[in-house]
Amino acid sequence: MPSNLELLPLKDLTSEYCRLRGLTIDQNTSRASNRRWDFVIQNGGDKEGIGITIKDWKRAVGVDIIIRAEQLMKASRYVSKVLLVSNHFSDPARSLAEKIGIFLLTKNDLIEIISDSDSPQGPWEDRSDDHENIVLQ
């Protein structure tokens, strides 16, 4: 990855995050397009996946997007978890997401995680922050 991670679009950062975690982006485009996910990642060997929505906005993502993501997850037979990626989330959106089990990552979170992957100790060893098992809980 380039050293100027801040310059990369959120979609590229999210793809790199998935690659580092060993997560496979589902190539079955009907799963993603039918439910308006940016993409779906496979969740291990099971048939359910993790729906990823990316909002590359200048403004903060609000509660309405959290509610919409939850509705999409409930309506999808392919998705059992949701990861929302954005530049910023409002405090009420963060609270609601935590309450209903939707995972949130900001651009800064992704940059930190990807940057840490270059460290000699490895990307996921001896880390105690919330991002360690954010998807594969």
Q: Assess if residue 70 is contained within a domain.
A: yes
**Model confidence over 22-74: pLDDT tens digits?**
888 876 655 554 557 888 887 666 667 889 999 999 999 999 999 999 999 99
Cα 127 to Cα 104: distance, rounded to the nearest angstrom: 18
Structure tokens at 108: 């800064």
Task: Please tell me the predicted confidence (pLDDT) of residue 126.
Answer: 37
Q: Which domain holds residue 97?
A: 26-106
Q: Assess if residue 69 is contained within a domain.
A: yes
Task: Please tell me the predicted confidence (pLDDT) of residue 116.
Answer: 84
Q: Assess if residue 114 is contained within a domain.
A: no
Q: Assess if residue 116 is contained within a domain.
A: no
User: Cα 111 vs. chain centroid, distance in angstroms?
Assistant: 13
Domain count across the chain? 1
Where residue 36 sits, what CATH number does that domain have? 3.40.1350.10
Task: Please tell me the predicted confidence (pLDDT) of residue 89.
Answer: 98
User: Does the pLDDT of residue 122 top 60, yes or no?
Assistant: no
Structure tokens at 46: 């099971």
When pLDDT is averaged across residues 115-134 and rounded to a whole number, the result is 48
Q: Assess if residue 46 is contained within a domain.
A: yes
Structure tokens at 79: 């998705």
Which DSSP letter does residue 122 get? -
Tokens 């059992």 locate to 80
**Model confidence over 70-112: pLDDT tens digits?**
999 998 877 889 999 999 999 999 999 999 999 999 999 999 9
Cα dihedral sign, 10-11-12-14: positive
Q: Assess if residue 33 is contained within a domain.
A: yes
